Amino acid sequence: MNDDTIGIGCDWGTSNLRFYRLGNSGQIIERRQFSAGVSSIKDNKFEAFFTKAIQDWLDNYPNIPVIVSGMAGSRQGWKETSYLPCPANIEKIVNKLTPIKLNYGRTIWIAPGLSYTNYQGLHDVMRGEEVQILGALSIIDRKKKLICLPGSHSKWATVAAGHVLEFHTFITGELFEAIKAGTIIGSMIDPNAWNDDAFIQGIESVGTSKNILNQLFTVRTKGLFNQLTSTTAGAFLSGLLIGYELAGALAGTRFKKIYLIGDGQLTTLYQKALLHKGIEPQVFAPDIIASGHFKIIKIINQDV
Amino acid sequence: MNDDTIGIGCDWGTSNLRFYRLGNSGQIIERRQFSAGVSSIKDNKFEAFFTKAIQDWLDNYPNIPVIVSGMAGSRQGWKETSYLPCPANIEKIVNKLTPIKLNYGRTIWIAPGLSYTNYQGLHDVMRGEEVQILGALSIIDRKKKLICLPGSHSKWATVAAGHVLEFHTFITGELFEAIKAGTIIGSMIDPNAWNDDAFIQGIESVGTSKNILNQLFTVRTKGLFNQLTSTTAGAFLSGLLIGYELAGALAGTRFKKIYLIGDGQLTTLYQKALLHKGIEPQVFAPDIIASGHFKIIKIINQDV
């Protein structure tokens, strides 16, 4: 083919599968997306689904690198790859790429996840977000920064000089859903209602009580004392939990700007929460991951 | 009847209904229990269920006081009674008793719940536990103490000189169940397994990470790194949450002894957790509530 396609990036997460055909300046020439996360692939048929989804690309560009990131490298995924300990950078990630030889002979590469072990020996892990972070690192400067990736498991990564130094996962989103589904607080909430003021009130209420297990009960008492209704309780709870996450993630830091990678309503909430705390959020769309794939592809191509 | 029955106490909670026929030294002459909590009574048929359950007592003792505590006084209960603000003591509770005139003419009394409002205006509430605390206060001395009532919503009350000064609710137990039912951590857990060592490890791990939303994710990573299995993950999570509750409830206090009101496995866990922290637990069984009813009955009888 007479175009400048130099590689293929693939982000195979728990619930989505995304492909990027990348040009020689890193531009996305073509993008494909499937609601076919790792958890939806039965009988280990990863290769069949993968090759069918981009058969034409594989045929048309027989010699370009293909990089797969995300849960495809997990125990429940296509091929388990180990975690690369932090601090980690692009070179270490490239050195840990795991080859998969497809049935018809072509080799593709699965990226490792990252792990971080704190001074007390507790581990944290990510898979996929590290390539999004690599993408963001090609845009932001090399000073120490804090990057947040909102999600049902939010990740907060400290980066500097092209390295991911450490990161922490907060299960805020998943806990919010579990509280809605399974507690007396959840029974107060109209799931279709939202109220921005109540969200901000939730953020502001963080730390006004003994601890979060106690504070969650105040959502209930605010209902009893008519300070929350079914239309405001959900937003208040969301603000309380995201605010509590921010209190943990920002403790001891003095960043005036935080980089967010994400889109949709959840990322908008993190923007609002940060702005309310006087911190400027700068948002990258999730497709920033293609810039991470591009950086990996460039190194591989130079090595050839 | 030729016996010393001087009153009837009733504790009508969310899931259970308990009656105590009390003698003139406070002893329980007869006890009845029904799995008929407030939430199980349909069409507001509280009076019918109540009178049928103790018809013989009501007939045999036509002139003794009957005191009902617990969720019977809630909005979803028999008759809503207001909350009595802390600090509160036995006299204030007696002054706030709400009469219900039964169909055939007899008057019984519903006890108020307690509320506590912290300096930032956040409310906390209890219904029923205050009479258990009254019961305990007839045994322990009048110095400042901390009383914990384990439950799906644990209550921690500071008492002194016969008063409940303040209290705080922690939704630890309900959150534990919601996490088990609705999160990736829950999917790791064998609900029939238990391991005491893992419970203690959970207590010890409190505070080793950024905050509880982050720390909950370490349960997941401990699974990934083979530090927890399906048979230990549930006990570890329980230890983590109860330990986190204790950290909040005991913050800034120096009690060497804590009074627990409760029974069963949950209270045993709180005992273990306190002992592990070098604090002596002293346990009262939930029937201590009958001593609280007795104190109320004695005051009413003196007033006659």
Q: The complex's ipTM?
A: 0.93
The 10s digit of each residue's pLDDT in A74-132 is 999 999 999 999 999 999 999 999 999 999 889 999 999 999 999 999 999 999 999 99
DSSP-assigned letter for residue B208:
S
β-strands B257-261, B145-149: how paired? parallel
Number of other CB atoms surrounding residue A46 within 10 Å: 19
Q: Which residues of B touch A169 (CB under 8 A)?
A: 214, 217
Q: How far is CA A195 from the centre of its chain?
A: 26
Contact A262, A149 (CB under 8 A): yes
Mean pLDDT across A179-190: 96
Question: Which of the four pLDDT bands, split at 50, 70 and 90, describes residue B176?
Answer: very high
Average pLDDT over residues B34-55: 95
Q: What is the pLDDT of residues A155-168, one digit of tens each?
A: 999 999 999 999 99
Instruction: Return the half-sphere exposure (C-beta side, CA atoms, 13 A cut-off) of residue A296.
Output: 34
**Cα dihedral A271→A276→A277→A278 (10° resolution):** 90
Integer Cα distance of B124 and B126 in angstroms: 7
Tokens encoding B115: 């509320």
Task: Determine, for residues B171 and A185 on separate chains, whether the beta-carbon distance falls below 8 Å.
Answer: yes
Instruction: Tell me which CATH code domain B170-284 carries.
Output: 3.30.420.310
Q: How far is A158 from chain B (nearest CA, A)?
A: 14
Residues of chain A found within 8 Å of residue B153, distances taken between Cβ atoms: 217
CB contact under 8 A, B175 and A183: yes
pLDDT at residue A157, as a whole number: 98
Which pLDDT score, from 0 to 100, does residue A136 have? 97
CATH class of domain segment(s) B5-141+289-303: alpha beta
Question: Distance, in angstroms, between B145 CA and closest chain A CA?
Answer: 18
Task: Report the distance separating Cα A280 and Cα A283, nearest Å.
Answer: 10
How far is B74 from chain A, CA to nearest CA, in Å? 10
Helix (H) or strand (E) holding A175: helix A172-182
Whether A5-138+290-303 and A170-284 share one fold: the answer is: yes
- Do B249 and B226 contact (CB within 8 A), yes or no? no
CA distance B265 to B277: 19
Distance from CA of A146 to the nearest CA of B (A): 15
Q: Pick A5-138+290-303's CATH classification: 3.30.420.300, 2.40.30.110, 2.30.30.40, 3.20.20.70.
A: 3.30.420.300
Beta strands B145-149 and B154-160 are: antiparallel
* Record: contact B153-A209, CB cut-off 8 A: no
If you ran DSSP here, which 8-state letter would residue A8 be given?
E
Domains of chain A, by residue range, sit at 5-138+290-303, 170-284
Instruction: Tell me which chain A residues have a C-beta less than 8 angstroms from the C-beta of B249.
Output: 210, 214
- Cα–Cα distance, B284 to B290 (Å, whole number): 12
Query: What pLDDT does residue B22 have?
Result: 98
What average pLDDT score do residues B95-124 get?
Answer: 95
Phi and psi angles of residue B104, each rounded to the nearest 5 degrees, phi first: -90, 10
**Quick one: pLDDT at residue A207?**
87
Length of chain B equals 304
A153 CB neighbours in chain B (<8 A) are: 217
